Structure 1
Amino acid sequence: MEPWPFDTITPEEIDALTDEEKQGLDAAVAAYIGECLRRRGVDPAPPTSTPA
């Protein structure tokens, strides 16, 4: 298992979100990462799977 990547957000906080809120968080993080990579000229790899 990968180490938890966030210093200021706990797994319990993520678990406390509703499914709809988790979908919104996933979309926001994906957009942020995509924009960061685009600005650096990196072609982001497409997701390997779609969350349920």
Structure 2
Amino acid sequence: MFPEGNVNAAGSYCRDPDGARGKPWCFTVNPNVEWQFCDVPNCTGRQFAHKKQ
């Protein structure tokens, strides 16, 4: 589920590893809020296309 192997090694990066929440989220440092959605802009157009070298 995590490329790093487990949740502890993954750290607090925005992700949605199993697609269950529908968009990227991360754990918070707020004891009253376990996780929240991240404000990650959608990639649009070819400006973000991966280029092979």
How does the TM-score come out when normalised to structure 1? 0.23
Q: Which has the higher strand share?
A: 2
How does the TM-score come out when normalised to structure 2? 0.23
For the pair shown, which has the larger CA radius of gyration, 1 or 2? 2
**Structure with larger RCO (C-alpha < 8 A, sep 6+):** 2
